[in-house]
Amino acid sequence: MKRDGPKKIAHIGIAVSNLREAVHLYTTVLGFTLEGYETVDSEKVRIAFLKIGETRLELLEATSPDSPIARFIERRGEGIHHLAFQVDSLSERLRALQEQGINLIDPTPKQGADGNQIAFLHPSSTRGVLIELCESFQMRSEFEN
């Protein structure tokens, strides 16, 4: 039985040390469209959403020195942090991945940005790439500024 794959690339997460400066680069210099900002307190991150075609970039700035983004920048510097794929039935997909031996950072979905349920797969199981799976329940049309 063939399993349905991801629906699309939901976003590419990019860790930045200064969100304001990064937004300026991506919008003014590179011409991306800024959709808005959101803070996800549970992940200790502030996000700027940038649109490119059907895909988004998420510029991620730590709001605390102990956030995953702060630790990432400390170890590796700024740059691509993760790839996110839109999926259906996130809970079922996580169970199936775990049955296949994939190491999950999040064995159950949690609340992410933009009304999505999310879960991360550990890079040790995905050839060194941090992968986020997203299931959309509602897409917000307005963000905080």
pLDDT at 122: 97
pLDDT at 16: 98
pLDDT at 138: 55
pLDDT at 3: 61
Domains contained in the chain, CATH given: 8-136 (3.10.180.10)
pLDDT at 145: 46
Residue pair 91/13 in contact (Cβ under 8 Å)? The answer is no
- CA 142, CA 66: separation in Å to the nearest integer? 29
Give residue-wise pLDDT tens across range 84-116. 999 999 999 999 999 999 999 999 999 999 889
Which has the closest alpha carbon to 85: 33, 30, 126, 144?
126
- CA 44, CA 61: separation in Å to the nearest integer? 9
Distances from the Cα of 103 to the Cαs of 22, 54, 106, 116, in angstroms? Answer: 32, 29, 9, 21
Examine the pLDDT at 23 and tell me if it is beyond 80: yes
Examine the pLDDT at 140 and tell me if it is beyond 80: no
Residue pair 18/61 in contact (Cβ under 8 Å)? The answer is yes
